[in-house]
């Protein structure tokens, strides 16, 4: 393997010093002169019409500078397709926005909220996807009869994937040795729960120039998607470091539009920063996913047919649900080799806080419900799940319909070696005793193992553009709209550029994420950072280097191909002693600008497998996660610690732990989230860490300059179904109800009465 100067080596993050000294400015650490604070009055009812709303007293409170209701807010629309008003005469979930206030201080803003008088006419509410589909169910939107979201064919082009229908399911079922029917749901709505709540500052100059500072994972996209909707023609979107996102803060309008409306009304900048309760109870959460499936299977475990209704609960609106369904449908095909599909999603609105994008993006929600149904067949056939995944996971030459509805053929690598290496490290062969059989029993404690798989052909999704500017002092500046949300990607692109230009890492910089400076960038979504964003940056660096060497060649009177550059000096290959600085060729009065653009390519699925071992205390019902082994192949590691950090991320941000204890507890009598705080919403602490190991293979991907692809987004996704399998095996009872809290375990073991659990 090629030895690189930076690629594959551990190098400190460029932002490390600021992070460890507290100098990093997250969005709530910023203020702008004359700034007001925005506050949102939220609905106490899950479904109601606003009969009257009186803001007079709130407006009279000294320090209050603007109060907005549905009667006077600009008619800016959001959602897919556009169906949500920032404030409406109808509220659709507990926590829905009713009125907005801008005030001199946060305390005054909160006081003003208390002075607003609202009279509601309550409406019946519905929370369950299937109940919402009944003919007499309460209707959330006039334009969505039956609470059904329209399939959105424009989201990823005119043929956006909204189902998988191929072959002949009847024929496939007829060919099967046995047919499995089952239902499984992943509806516990685990919260991605970044530590930093969503926040934004908006400021208008005149009527059409708008500046927005936000903790967004994709700040450039605010300009692309929201500028026109807010009637601005000149929007500057500036990103701050993101205090965790896990997808959730990508391009949510939910905090931007209210702040911009208040700033416009008050004529002053407004900061809107969610409190933790608002964050947990009123900001977007993960999709609810329920599958009624039918699987035809041969005795050898081959799947002959898959027919399923996928009921997707999007809550009170769709931020990008159709997009998540498209990607989920694509990802299902990467995992199952099956000639006959009839996989039909239905996206349903209900009266709970809305679903937005979260790491896993449809595919995790789908897999968590589908894999337990498939495994019923494997159980019947007595097939080892690792063998099943090995046989089924997409291989070079296999095709799939991707999110754009087009048929793509895998041009990546075979992940069989990664599966085998992971299984070996985990000790799968020794630990796997067969379906519903524990690995070991020690008194009341029983251990079990389980495995899950996930992959996404998104490493090359969407467009990225970048510029690389060379200055004659021997420095390079990357112009990229890439936000830093924790993956270290802004440092990683510096490593790529430093490698190409052979510059010291401290002479390579990235511009701030500012849409007025940088070219187009979708943002670090999915696992596209390394391949898509990286390739745009690399192309820009190569372009800049070419221009540099052309200039330097005139000095040396040789062809540009004969030159090399290192540490800001150029020389004829093989003669480094006769080197001259860039400035000698460039002059002090020239900059070089290289341009790079990446075009989408859906032929490269990535891969993640997770092996888990759990221990169940059959007396208390408590499940302990003992050990986790992750297996993947990334082509080439860019920065080892950044990659292991991402892989360790499989636990939280609603990954593995969403099968164990994480859930948004919902009271269906009141329509309220019962645990909107970080004491009642359970999360894993330092004291309860499992053993964690990863097998990271590096099989080169030829189409990337450094043969690398990304994997960060998908690391949590195989986890929940793996845990379900492990616990089922430990206790000998098939479990299908996330999360596996002690009450459910004890009920499954027949140790407590089968009382209906309240909620959800």
Partner 1 sequence: MTTTQNLSYATITLTVNGENHSFILGEGSHEVTPSHTLAHTLRERLGLTGTKVSCDDGACGCCTVQMDGKAVNSCLLLTVECEGKEITTIEGLGDPVTGTIDPLQKSFIDHTAFQCGFCTPGIIMSAKSLLTENPAPTRDEVKESLAGNFCRCNSHYHVLDAVMAVARKGGNK
DSSP state of 157: B
Give the tokens for residue 451: 């495995």
Q: How far is the CB of 276 from ligand FES (least distance, A)?
A: 8
Q: How far is the CB of 170 from ligand FES (least distance, A)?
A: 50
DSSP string, 443-492: TTEEEEEEEEEE--TTTT-S-EEEEEEEETTTEEEEE-----SSS-HHHH
Binding partner of residue 304 among ligand FES, partner 1, none, CB under 5 to 8 Å per kind? none
For 545, residues 6+ apart whose C-beta sits below 8 A from its C-beta are: 500, 501, 565, 594
512 binds partner 1 (CB under 8 A): no
Residues 456-495 that bind partner 1 (CB under 8 A): 484-488
Q: What mask of x and - would describe binding to partner 1 in positions 235 to 254, judged by CB under 8 A?
A: ------xxxxxx--------
The span from the CA of 152 to the CA of 171, in Å, is 30
Nearest CB to partner 1, comparing residues 152 and 484 = 484
244 binds ligand FES (CB under 6 A): yes
Nearest CB to partner 1, comparing residues 268 and 403 = 268
Q: With contacts defined by CB under 8 A, how many residues of the chain interact with partner 1?
A: 59
652 binds partner 1 (CB under 8 A): yes
The span from the CA of 80 to the CA of 157, in Å, is 14
Nearest CB to partner 1, comparing residues 14 and 446 = 14
DSSP string, 231-285: T-SEEEEEE---S--TTTTSS-HHHHHHHHHHHHHHTS-EEEE--HHHHHHHS-B
Q: How far is the CB of 193 from ligand FES (least distance, A)?
A: 10
Residues 302 and 326: beta-carbon distance below 8 Å: no
Binding partner of residue 165 among partner 1, ligand FES, none, CB under 5 to 8 Å per kind? none
Nearest CB to ligand FES, comparing residues 109 and 486 = 486
Residues 600 and 525: beta-carbon distance below 8 Å: no
109 binds ligand FES (CB under 6 A): no
Nearest CB to partner 1, comparing residues 128 and 278 = 278
Residues 280-339 that bind partner 1 (CB under 8 A): none
Tallying the residues shown for the chain, one arrives at 760
Give the tokens for residue 457: 């052909």
Residues 666 and 127: beta-carbon distance below 8 Å: yes
Q: With contacts defined by CB under 6 A, how many residues of the chain interact with ligand FES?
A: 3
486 binds ligand FES (CB under 6 A): yes
Among 74, 81, 167, 275, contact with partner 1 (rule: CB under 8 A) = 275
Residues 560 and 585: beta-carbon distance below 8 Å: no
Nearest CB to partner 1, comparing residues 89 and 677 = 677
φ, ψ of residue 329 to 5 degrees: the values are: -60, -40
Q: How far is the CB of 195 from ligand FES (least distance, A)?
A: 5
Q: How far is the CB of 632 from partner 1 (least distance, A)?
A: 16
Q: What is residue 611's three-state secondary structure?
A: strand
Please identify, among the stretches 462-470, 545-553, 617-625, 636-644, the one whose residues bind partner 1 according to the rule CB under 8 A. Answer: 636-644
Residues 172-201 that bind partner 1 (CB under 8 A): 192-197
Nearest CB to partner 1, comparing residues 26 and 141 = 26
The span from the CA of 648 to the CA of 659, in Å, is 16
Among 267, 396, 512, 641, contact with partner 1 (rule: CB under 8 A) = 641
Considering Cα of 506, then 509, then 512, then 513, what sign does the dihedral take? negative
Residues 579 and 571: beta-carbon distance below 8 Å: yes
Considering Cα of 289, then 723, then 636, then 194, what sign does the dihedral take? positive
689 binds partner 1 (CB under 8 A): yes
Pairing of strands 36-42, 270-273: parallel
Residues 202 and 214: beta-carbon distance below 8 Å: no
Residues 411 and 396: beta-carbon distance below 8 Å: yes
Residues 170-199 that bind ligand FES (CB under 6 A): 195
Give the tokens for residue 120: 């509601």
Nearest CB to partner 1, comparing residues 422 and 460 = 422
Among 44, 59, 88, 104, contact with partner 1 (rule: CB under 8 A) = 104
Binding partner of residue 679 among ligand FES, partner 1, none, CB under 5 to 8 Å per kind? partner 1
Nearest CB to partner 1, comparing residues 275 and 581 = 275
517 binds partner 1 (CB under 8 A): no
The span from the CA of 417 to the CA of 164, in Å, is 29
The span from the CA of 188 to the CA of 759, in Å, is 10
Nearest CB to partner 1, comparing residues 588 and 686 = 686
The span from the CA of 479 to the CA of 556, in Å, is 30
Binding partner of residue 650 among partner 1, ligand FES, none, CB under 5 to 8 Å per kind? partner 1
Beta bridge partners of 132: none
Report CA Rg, the chain: 27
382 binds ligand FES (CB under 6 A): no
Q: How far is the CB of 672 from ligand FES (least distance, A)?
A: 22
- Using CA atoms, how far residue 95 sits from 40, 70, 99, 110, in Å, is 9, 15, 11, 15
32 binds partner 1 (CB under 8 A): no
| Residues of the shown chain interacting with ligand FES in the complex, contacts defined by CB under 6 A | 195, 244, 486
| Residues of the shown chain interacting with partner 1 in the complex, contacts defined by CB under 8 A | 10, 12-13, 15-17, 19-26, 28-29, 104-105, 107, 192-197, 241-246, 275-276, 484-488, 639, 641-642, 644-646, 648-653, 677-679, 683, 685-687, 689, 692
């Amino acid at each position: 393997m090629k030895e690189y100067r930076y690629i594959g080596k551990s190098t400190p993050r460029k932002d490390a010093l600021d992070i460890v000294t507290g100098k990093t400015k997250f969005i709530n650490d910023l203020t702008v002169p004359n700034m007001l604070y925005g506050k949102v009055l939220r609905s106490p009812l899950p479904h109601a019409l606003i009969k009257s709303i009186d803001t007079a007293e709130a407006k009279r409170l000294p320090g209050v500078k603007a109060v907005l209701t549905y009667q006077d807010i600009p008619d800016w629309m959001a959602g897919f397709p556009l169906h949500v008003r920032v404030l409406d005469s109808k509220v659709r979930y507990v926590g829905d926005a009713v009125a907005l206030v801008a005030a001199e201080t946060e305390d005054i803003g909160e006081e003003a909220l208390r002075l607003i008088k609202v009279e509601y006419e309550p409406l019946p509410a519905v929370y369950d996807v299937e109940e919402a589909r009944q003919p007499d169910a309460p209707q959330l939107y006039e334009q969505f009869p039956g609470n059904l979201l329209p399939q959105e064919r424009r989201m990823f082009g005119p043929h956006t994937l909204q189902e998988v229908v191929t072959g002949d399911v009847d024929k496939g079922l007829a060919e099967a040795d046995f047919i499995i029917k089952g239902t499984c749901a992943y509806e516990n709505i685990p919260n991605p729960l970044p530590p930093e709540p969503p926040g934004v500052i908006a400021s208008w100059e005149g009527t059409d120039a708008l500046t927005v500072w936000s903790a967004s994972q994709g700040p450039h996209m605010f300009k692309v998607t929201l500028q026109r909707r807010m009637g601005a023609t000149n929007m500057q979107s500036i990103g701050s470091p993101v205090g965790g996102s896990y997808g959730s803060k990508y391009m949510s309008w939910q905090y931007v539009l209210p702040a911009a409306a208040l700033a416009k009304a008050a004529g002053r900048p407004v900061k809107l920063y969610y409190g933790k309760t608002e964050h947990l109870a009123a900001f977007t959460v993960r999709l609810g996913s329920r599958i009624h499936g039918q699987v035809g299977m041969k005795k050898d475990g081959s799947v002959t047919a898959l027919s399923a209704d996928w009921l997707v609960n999007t809550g009170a609106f769709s931020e990008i649900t159709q997009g998540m369904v498209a990607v989920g449908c694509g990802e299902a095909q990467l995992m199952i080799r099956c000639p006959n599909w009839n996989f039909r999603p239905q996206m349903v609105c209900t009266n709970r806080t809305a679903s937005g994008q979260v790491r896993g993006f449809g595919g995790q929600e789908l897999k968590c419900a589908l894999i337990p149904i498939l495994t019923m067949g494997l159980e019947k056939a007595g097939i080892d799940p690792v063998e099943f995944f090995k046989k089924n996971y997409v291989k070079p030459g296999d095709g799939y319909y991707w999110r754009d509805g087009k048929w793509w053929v895998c041009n990546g690598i075979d992940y069989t070696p990664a599966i085998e290496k992971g299984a070996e490290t985990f000790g799968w062969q020794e630990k796997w005793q067969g379906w519903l059989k524990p690995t070991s029993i020690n008194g009341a404690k029983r251990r079990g193992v389980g495995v899950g798989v996930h992959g996404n052909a998104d490493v090359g999704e969407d467009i990225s553009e970048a510029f690389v500017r060379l200055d004659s002092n021997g420095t390079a500046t990357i112009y990229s709209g890439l936000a830093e949300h924790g993956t270290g990607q802004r440092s990683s692109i510096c490593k790529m550029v430093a490698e190409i230009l052979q510059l010291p890492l401290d002479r390579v910089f990235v511009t701030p994420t500012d849409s007025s400076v940088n070219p187009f960038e979708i943002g670090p979504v999915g696992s596209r950072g390394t391949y898509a964003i990286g390739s745009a940056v690399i192309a820009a660096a190569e372009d800049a280097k070419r221009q540099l060497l052309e200039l330097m060649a005139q000095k040396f009177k040789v062809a540009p191909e004969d030159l090399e550059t290192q540490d800001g000096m150029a020389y004829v290959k093989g003669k480094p002693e006769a080197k001259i600085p860039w400035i000698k060729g460039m002059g002090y009065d020239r900059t070089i600008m290289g341009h790079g653009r990446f075009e989408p390519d859906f032929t490269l699925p990535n891969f993640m497998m997770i092996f888990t071992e759990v221990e169940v205390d059959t007396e208390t019902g408590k499940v302990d996660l003992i050990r986790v082994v992750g297996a993947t192949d990334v082509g080439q590691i860019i920065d080892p610690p950044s990659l292991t950090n991402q892989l360790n991320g499989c636990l939280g941000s609603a990954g593995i732990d969403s099968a164990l204890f994480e859930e948004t507890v919902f009271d269906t009598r009141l329509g309220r989230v019962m645990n909107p705080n970080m004491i009642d919403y359970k999360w894993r602490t330092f004291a309860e860490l499992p053993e964690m190991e990863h097998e990271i293979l590096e099989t080169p991907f030829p189409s990337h300059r450094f043969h690398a692809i990304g994997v960060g987004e998908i690391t949590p996704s195989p986890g929940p179904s793996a845990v379900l399998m492990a616990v089922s095996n430990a206790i000998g009872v098939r479990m299908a109800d996330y999360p596996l809290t002690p009450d459910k375990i004890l009920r499954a073991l027949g140790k407590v009465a089968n009382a209906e659990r309240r909620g959800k």
